[in-house]
Structure 1
Amino acid sequence: MLRYLIAVALAASTLGHTTAALAQTEDSANWAIVIHGGAGVIERGAMTPEREAEYRAAMAAALARGEAVLDGDGSALDAIEAVIHGLEDDPLFNSGRGAVFTAAGRNELDASIMDGATLNAGAVAGVTQVRHPISLARAVMDNSRHVMLQGEGAETFAREQGLEIVPPAWFFTERRWAAMEQALGALGLDIPARPEGAPAAAGVDHGELERDAREHRFGTVGVVALDRAGNIAAGTSTGGTTAKRWGRVGDSPIIGAGTYANNASCGVSATGTGEYFIRLTVASRVCALVELQGLSLQAAADQVIMDELRALDGDGGIVALTPAGEIAWSFNTPGMYRARQSEGGEAVVAIYGDED
């Protein structure tokens, strides 16, 4: 009852908001959402104003998709899917259609999702023909007795589940192909043939290519959401690292490393050098500090990312959210594409390290 009275009082005293928008019953929570689009050497002046505007618009659109689900009393899990679907279809980001290429000239996609209410989770690794890996991860969670599927087996399951299958060339983008060629050249490795069905070769802006190499070194996308039922969920999707070899899998599909959610503590989605995030179990470690040591979410995030991860020479960042609606992000790179919004509040979109 006290929570209800406080909410009503705040609503009555805040211009521009209605009582209906801010007041809540004893059985409901305010929704919240936080998103990242990858971290790296993202510095002011390195991007054209036009490209920066594109990223800000894409992150704002991602928030809007999440808001539409959560404001309609949808679940946190549904919000995760809605947000990441759009990011997986946007060639600006290293997931889905914007995924980087392996040394073999393939797009191998990873994703995971976790429900904080039940601790159920699903993950996929190394898929090449599933348009939305995040939906496949959720299908693994909801419709199988497993947590992680990989490669051809995951794609067989996707077909059985009726998920959208696309030809591998659907994920092709010229700038990612050029980045792979550049990386293989530096390693002294052979350049593979262009994928069947890819468009004819086109020129790329090599200045933009260099910026991409710095900015998208850790080009994962991820979301943590809190719904009005008070449940949190987290999800992550990625194309991995440029010119990765031998079936490499990073932290994104590994529950506890790149993704974690628990209503007893928090939800986390990570982006960074996956090998270090795996070793440190970054996502679950942040939540453990909140639950077991009583740290604030921001303090826990900073301890893991700014201190512990750096001590291992790891780099990257996270976004995080508690069932109480506390939002945090932390990154030890110059920038991270990120956005957040809480019910009744203003949307925040940021890129550089000096932005709130």
Structure 2
Amino acid sequence: MEGITNSAEEQQPSTPLSNSWSNKQESSKNEKPKPVGGFVLVHAGAGYHSESKAKEYKHVCKRACQRAVDRLKAGALAVEAVTAALVELEDSPFTNAGMGSNLNLSGGIECDASIMDGKSLHYGAVGAISGIKNPVLVANRLLSEAQRGKLSAGRIPPCFLVGRGAHDWAVSHGIPPCPSEKMFSLSAYKRNKRKMELAEKLDTGHNQTKKRRQSCENVSFINGGNHGCLDTVGAVVVDLEGNVAAAVSSGGLAMKHPGRVGQAAHYGCGCWAENTCNMNPYSTAVSTSGCGEHLIRTMLARECSTAMQSEDAHQALLEAMQNKFISSPFLASEDRVLGGVIVLRCCRCVEAPPSQNIQGILVEFLWSHTTESMCVGYMSAQDSKAKTHISRLPPGTVPGQCLAIEGGVCRLSVVE
């Protein structure tokens, strides 16, 4: 197996999570402080991250982590925190999601997004939605509406809406529309249009080898737009109750056909979250990125979640990426299989003798990609700032035919 790297970091909180509420203890000495906190892992897309924009990619990951941790410190559950992280990623002009989305063939923006709650196992998604600045807010609202139960006359509430219907539903539920002209760059569209036309001209040429090479180069650049060939952004979160949640958001491929819906909206393909139960010893949360069609045909998010129930998380993810993705029989006709995942799994653990009543959550977090690079950030509620990293394939390896895998461990402590 080629191109495998591994690193691990262990974060030890310096104080128990209950200390984060110490300022309130003066006014409520007789009340037991409510523990707050958790952990977040985000990604800014799998693809190619240029060195010239590395600082911007890392910065947006830091902001997304901080946004989620702020919500966790305020007592929010995992779903609310993961939504906050995605809003920050969608608001950045450097990511291919929300405000920074790629343009389709018609020069418009159509976004995909989904979110999943590991506690209720509910899921909400939107596909090819236009005129909404933060598609993840619509996906999250669909999820929360589904949790309320059936509609009038016993109707089942929708979990996945697309196109104009998704836009109108969002507006009717209080999510403000955003004028399309505020969400795209006309110059980028014209530039990509010229490159696509050049690629189409090459398709009529007689030199097949040169045609394939140059066409691939042009389409690769087009798909990156201003993002260096980046796709879906996402996040995974665990709160101190042990609930997990995952979310993804994407502007899709540049110059895509109007109406195309990528993996970011598809169930089991863009994200997955599932709390521990009798059958599963671990809670797991997964968010994917890369070529949507490859991720849809392999249902990679759910495959990785299932794999994480094995004892060795690192080995399990490595085998899942190799056997369920790169070597998947569903992608046998593909020369290069492009994608990336961030994965979080956790379980309750006892960190002291039972008499001290101290418990915690052991969090293992990993990322893996077959693309040239993937930018990630992570942070616990005890950290003063997020850590970021641009993971790259080892030199000399071929994107789409090999993989990189890295990760770490974090222990979250709480006095009960």
Pick from 93, 96, 103 the counterpart of residue 95 of structure 2: 93
Residues 199-233 of structure 1: per-residue CA shift (max 9 Å, x gap) = xxxxxxx9xx7895596434211000001111000
2:379 equivalent to 1:341: yes
Q: Aligned residue for 1:33?
A: 40
Pick from 297, 311, 314 the counterpart of residue 337 of structure 2: 314
Structure 1: which 5+ residue stretches go unaligned? Answer: 1-10, 190-205
Q: How far apart, CA to CA, are the structure 2 residues paired with 1:150 and 1:56?
A: 31
Q: Is the 8 A contact 2:195 2:222 kept in 1?
A: no
Q: Is the 8 A contact 1:76 1:225 kept in 2?
A: yes
Q: Aligned residue for 2:244?
A: 232
- Going from structure 1 to structure 2, the CA distance change for 1:296 and 1:73 (only over 3 Å counts) comes to farther
Q: SS state of the match for residue 101, structure 1?
A: coil
Q: How far apart, CA to CA, are the structure 2 residues paired with 1:175 and 1:231?
A: 44
Q: How far apart, CA to CA, are the structure 2 residues paired with 1:299 and 1:227?
A: 25
Q: How far apart, CA to CA, are the structure 2 residues paired with 1:310 and 1:231?
A: 31
Q: How far apart, CA to CA, are the structure 1 residues paired with 2:227 and 2:188?
A: 13
| Matched positions, count | 317
Query: Which structure has the highest strand share of the two?
Result: 2
TM-score, normalization: structure 2? Answer: 0.70
Q: Aligned residue for 2:54?
A: 52
- Going from structure 1 to structure 2, the CA distance change for 1:76 and 1:216 (only over 3 Å counts) comes to farther
Q: SS state of the match for residue 33, structure 1?
A: strand
Q: Aligned residue for 1:300?
A: 316
State the shift of 1:85 in Å.
1.0
Q: How far apart, CA to CA, are the structure 1 residues paired with 2:174 and 2:388?
A: 35
Q: How far apart, CA to CA, are the structure 2 residues paired with 1:211 and 1:220?
A: 12
Pick from 245, 248, 272 the counterpart of residue 260 of structure 1: 272
Q: Aligned residue for 1:352?
A: 391
Q: How far apart, CA to CA, are the structure 2 residues paired with 1:108 and 1:41?
A: 22
RMSD in angstroms over aligned alpha carbons?
2.9
Pick from 128, 135, 138 the counterpart of residue 137 of structure 2: 135
Q: Structure 1 residues 315-324 or 235-244, which shifts more?
A: 315-324
Q: Structure 1 residues 162-171 or 175-184, which shifts more?
A: 175-184
Q: SS state of the match for residue 390, structure 2?
A: strand
Residues 56-77 of structure 1: per-residue CA shift (max 9 Å, x gap) = 2211111111111112221111
Q: Is the 8 A contact 2:223 2:253 kept in 1?
A: no
Residues 124-148 of structure 1: per-residue CA shift (max 9 Å, x gap) = 0011111110000011111251210
Q: Aligned residue for 1:277?
A: 295
Q: Aligned residue for 2:86?
A: 84
Percent identical across equivalent pairs? 28
Q: Is the 8 A contact 1:252 1:274 kept in 2?
A: yes
Pick from 289, 298, 305 the counterpart of residue 287 of structure 1: 305
Q: How far apart, CA to CA, are the structure 2 residues paired with 1:237 and 1:143?
A: 19
Q: SS state of the match for residue 266, structure 1?
A: strand
Alignment of 1:93-172 (within 5 A): 93-144=95-146, 145-172=157-184
Q: Is the 8 A contact 1:183 1:243 kept in 2?
A: no
Q: How far apart, CA to CA, are the structure 1 residues paired with 2:170 and 2:75?
A: 28
Q: Is the 8 A contact 1:179 1:242 kept in 2?
A: no
Q: Is the 8 A contact 1:38 1:216 kept in 2?
A: no
- Going from structure 1 to structure 2, the CA distance change for 1:152 and 1:132 (only over 3 Å counts) comes to same
State the shift of 1:183 in Å.
4.1
State the shift of 1:289 in Å.
1.6
Q: How far apart, CA to CA, are the structure 2 residues paired with 1:149 and 1:20?
A: 39
Q: How far apart, CA to CA, are the structure 2 residues paired with 1:124 and 1:290?
A: 27
Q: Aligned residue for 1:327?
A: 365
The amino acid that maps onto 1:241 is L
- Going from structure 1 to structure 2, the CA distance change for 1:182 and 1:334 (only over 3 Å counts) comes to same
Q: Which is greater in Rg?
A: 2
Q: Aligned residue for 1:61?
A: 63
Q: Is the 8 A contact 2:224 2:254 kept in 1?
A: no
The amino acid that maps onto 2:47 is G
Q: How far apart, CA to CA, are the structure 2 residues paired with 1:100 and 1:55?
A: 16
State the shift of 1:176 in Å.
3.9
Structure 2: which 5+ residue stretches go unaligned? Answer: 1-10, 21-31, 147-156, 202-217, 277-282, 348-362, 395-405, 408-416
The amino acid that maps onto 2:315 is A
Q: Is the 8 A contact 1:40 1:214 kept in 2?
A: no
Q: How far apart, CA to CA, are the structure 2 residues paired with 1:328 and 1:352?
A: 11
Q: How far apart, CA to CA, are the structure 2 residues paired with 1:246 and 1:93?
A: 20
Q: How far apart, CA to CA, are the structure 2 residues paired with 1:20 and 1:28?
A: 6
State the shift of 1:187 in Å.
4.2
Q: How far apart, CA to CA, are the structure 1 residues paired with 2:18 and 2:137?
A: 31
